[in-house]
Homo-oligomer: A and B are copies of this chain.
Amino acid sequence: MPSADAADLTALGRRAREAARPLALASTATKDAALLAAADLLDERVADVLRANAGDVARAEAAGAPATVIDRLRLDERRVASMAAGLRDVAALADPAGQVVDGWTRPNGLRIEQVRVPLGIVGIIYENRPNVTSDAAALCVKSGNVAFLRGSSAAITSNTAIAALLREGFAKAGLPEDALVLVEDTSRESAVEFMRLRGMIDCLIPRGGRSLIEAILEHATVPYVIDGDGNCHVYVDESADLDMALSIVRNAKTSRPSVCNAAESLVVHAAVAGRALPVLAEALMADGVTLLGDDRARALVPPMGAASEDDFGREFLDLTMSVAVVDSLEDAIAWVNRYGSGHSEAIVTSSFEAAERFLREVDAAAVLVNASTRFVDGGEFGFGAEIGISTQKLHARGPMGLRELTTTKYVVRGDGQVRS
Binding site for B on A (CB under 8 A): 21, 24-25, 104, 106, 110, 112, 117, 119-120, 198, 202-203, 217-218, 221, 223, 225, 241, 244, 247-248, 250-252, 255, 337, 355, 359-361, 363-372, 374-376, 380-382, 392-395, 397-399, 407-419
Contacts and interface: CB of A to CB of B under 8 A. Distances in A.
Contacts of A110: 371, 375
For A374, A413, A419, the residue with the greatest tally of chain B CB atoms inside 10 Å of its CB is A419
Given A251-B419, A366-B409, A371-B412, 6 more contacts: A110-B371, A218-B221, A371-B417, A374-B419, A397-B408, A398-B410
B375 A417 contact: yes
A367 B115 CA distance: 11
User: Mostly helix, strand, loop or mixed at chain A's interface?
Assistant: mixed
A330 to B, nearest CB: 12
Contact of A414 (B203, B371, B409): B371
A295 to B, nearest CB: 27
A366 B407 CA distance: 12
6 contacts: A106-B382, A112-B382, A225-B394, A355-B413, A397-B408, A397-B409
A24 B363 contact: yes
How many copies make up the complex?
2
B393 A407 contact: yes
A181 to B, nearest CB: 19
Given A381-B410, A393-B223, A398-B410, A419 B372 contact: yes
A418 B251 CA distance: 6
A411 B241 contact: no
Nearest to A20: B363
A239 to B, nearest CB: 14
A413 B369 CA distance: 5
B361 A25 contact: yes
B368 A414 contact: yes
A202 B407 CA distance: 20
Contacts of A376: 410, 412
